[in-house]
Amino acid sequence: MSELELVTDKKNRVAEAVNEILFDFLIFGVLSFVIFTVVCLVAGQAQPWHGGIALAAWTFGIATIVHCFMTDGGVILLGCFLGLILAVVYGILYCFYWLLFL
């Protein structure tokens, strides 16, 4: 019979992945939103928060994809690709809105 060993230093990989995503969101999502909104405001856009949202979504998507390439987060990577696609669609629609109606 094989003996069972008690593993006391087991890491919770799901909790680590969620913590990494939240860290990426806070740094590359929220902080870049604030920075890009200020940049768009200084540049003179009528609604700078839309530009801040679009650029922050791009930054968050790219940073999380790079972070997932450094770890084994394949499912998270697919979710980031979908988020990046949504960010591209939102950015294109905002550009059309900004160019045609503002």
- Domain membership of residue 74 (yes or no) is yes
* Residue 15: band (very low, low, confident or very high) from pLDDT cuts 50, 70, 90: confident
- Domain membership of residue 3 (yes or no) is no
* Residue 3: band (very low, low, confident or very high) from pLDDT cuts 50, 70, 90: low
Give residue 56's domain range.
19-95
Domain count within the chain: 1
For residues 14 and 82, what is the distance between their CA atoms, to the nearest angstrom?
20
Q: Which residues of 25-62 are buried (b: 16+ CB within 10 A; e: fewer)?
A: eeebbeebbeebbeebeeeebeebebbbbbbbbbbbbe
Average pLDDT over residues 60-72: 74
pLDDT tens track for 76-99: 777 778 888 888 888 888 888 877
The chain-wide mean pLDDT, for the chain, equals 79
* Residue 5: band (very low, low, confident or very high) from pLDDT cuts 50, 70, 90: low
Query: In this structure, what DSSP letter does residue 72 have?
Result: T
pLDDT at 2: 60
- Domain membership of residue 51 (yes or no) is yes
- Domain membership of residue 5 (yes or no) is no
pLDDT at 7: 58
pLDDT at 25: 84
What is the pTM for the complete model shown?
0.54
